[in-house]
Amino acid sequence: MRKQFIAAAAALMLSLAGCAGGNGAGSASASADPDATVAIGFLLEPTGLNPTSVAGAAVDQVLVDNVYEGLTRISDDGQVQPLLAKSWEVSKDGLTYTFHLQEGVKFHDGSDFDAQDVVSSLTNAAAPNSLNPDAKLLSAFKSAQAVNTHTVTVSLSKRDSTFLETLARRGGLIIPSDNKVDLAKKDNGTGPYTLGKWTTGSSIELNRFDGYWGQPAKNKVALFRYYKDQTTAANALSSGELDIYTQFDSDLIKRFQNDPNVTTTEGTDQAWMTLAYNDAQPQLADQRVREALREGVDKDGLLKVLDSAYERIGSMSNSGDPWNDDSLLKIDAYNPDHARQLLKEAGAEGLTLTLKVPTVYSPSIAEYIRSQLAKIGVTVNIQSMEFASWLTDVYQNRNFDMTMVLHTDPWTLTYYANPNYYWGYNSQTVQAAVTDALEAASTEERNTKLNKVAHLVSEDAASDWLYSPKAVTFSVAGVSGFPVNRTTAFYPAAGIEVAR
């Protein structure tokens, strides 16, 4: 067995203390109020709060590392760190993990955390009938066994180079083995907060859990507020209703850049605005049509229109991903003349497609796509819908031609190997390449092989990728300790301090 040292000693000690907070953006104040309420603004509200069944990044923002915890956590700079597991070993063949668990941990219902809870949670999340949104990431899971009260061994059917990261996500969240709580109505995790009042359409309250096993939250209440549009949220920040706002556009950046009461902090994110095609739809099953659609949209022009903190991308990867490279930007570059030629060759002249877009995204982006594709003879009908409707109509029922959505799962690139994923892409070449990457013996080997996957899906025009946003946070004076990176996927609030 070989011991896995995941972080430097200081970071390790911090995680062993059970810290689930952010990276400490801003400087801590001696006058910080430990009983303060910190109000954080978002646009996308969860559709439910059951961590075992409800999909969506908005659920992760509220629950992961705030209310529920896994054996590992992902730090603000993207590193795997210990959490409910204080250490672990991995066998030389990569098929057996032995986890040594924290002691003295209690669930919110007062019951003790032990090895059987880990066995039950992972087994249920990976089960064939699992509704867990991350069940697909646990395909290599074979079994788990409690060695003693605070030691667990997990067996995999094949190497999985993403397994430790997966344990920090929804598929790895730990729930009591004898849980009797209806998780759709009440929580039962081990995190630094318990769920408080949820006022649908307005806010979700997280209350500090005084029985938390690690470092207590540095605020008493984390209030997640939800807004219908950017302007309303920005006004809330200016009026003092919000302490932090995590969404942005060029207008907001310009609005607050000279405001002495608001600080703008820029970080990195793992998020990709994707123009997804229903590859199972007969016309879009033709690679020439998909290639034409990609070549018909000028992504550099789109970034000029957006005029803000966005990065041009050429696959489901950005400059923060170790498997990214700049040559991806050259694949299917803007070429409307060639796009028209491809459509003619495919017999798809006069093509009409519906573009379904959640209302949380700026309508100007969809309008830009419609305008661009009209120039190559493709008619685009835009259909806006609430995100809950999008989850049902597009994500679950796959009733769409094209859709636009911001993907935040760091392993979304590997989902092109799943023909049952909502976009219906089915390539045996990509499936083999993804399997090869996931079974890599080292992180470096995995990243090299994922670069090959990024090229394969781009060259086959499996989707189009419009841009990758940076993480931009607006905060008022006296607020510090908030996360600055990866905020579209997770928002650990326990480290936030407020000094009025």
Q: How would you write the pLDDT of the chain (500 residues) with one tens digit per residue?
A: 333 322 222 222 222 223 333 444 654 445 899 999 999 999 989 999 999 999 888 999 999 999 999 999 998 878 899 999 999 999 999 999 999 999 999 999 999 999 999 999 999 999 999 999 999 999 999 999 999 999 999 999 999 999 999 999 999 999 999 999 999 999 999 999 999 999 999 999 999 999 999 999 999 999 999 999 889 999 999 999 999 998 877 778 888 888 899 999 988 888 999 999 999 999 999 999 999 999 999 999 999 988 777 899 999 999 888 999 999 999 999 999 999 999 999 999 999 999 999 998 889 999 999 999 999 999 999 999 998 899 999 999 999 999 999 998 889 999 999 999 999 999 999 999 999 999 999 889 999 999 999 999 999 999 999 999 888 899 999 999 999 998 888 999 999 999 97
Angstrom CA distances, 203 to 39, 55, 97, 158, stand at 9, 18, 39, 42
Q: What is the pLDDT of residue 453?
A: 98
Please name which of 247, 227, 280, 272 lies closest in space to residue 394, comparing C-alpha atoms.
280
Q: What is the pLDDT of residue 30?
A: 55
8 A C-beta contact, residue 452 and residue 413: no
8 A C-beta contact, residue 464 and residue 315: no
Structure tokens at 200: 């649908």
Q: What is the pLDDT of residue 25?
A: 61
Q: Strand 80-82 and strand 72-74: pairing?
A: antiparallel
Tell if the pTM clears 0.85, that is, is over it.
Answer: no
Q: Strand 80-82 and strand 96-101: pairing?
A: unpaired
Q: What is the pLDDT of residue 252?
A: 84
Q: What is the pLDDT of residue 267?
A: 87
Q: What is the pLDDT of residue 26?
A: 52
8 A C-beta contact, residue 469 and residue 273: yes
Q: Is residue 450 helix, strand or coil?
A: helix
Q: What is the pLDDT of residue 12?
A: 23
Q: How many CB atoms lie within 10 A of CB 282?
A: 8
Angstrom CA distances, 212 to 83, 105, 217, stand at 13, 7, 9
Please name which of 88, 198, 200, 208 lies closest in space to residue 154, comparing C-alpha atoms.
88
Please name which of 149, 224, 173 lies closest in space to residue 65, comparing C-alpha atoms.
173
Structure tokens at 321: 């991903």
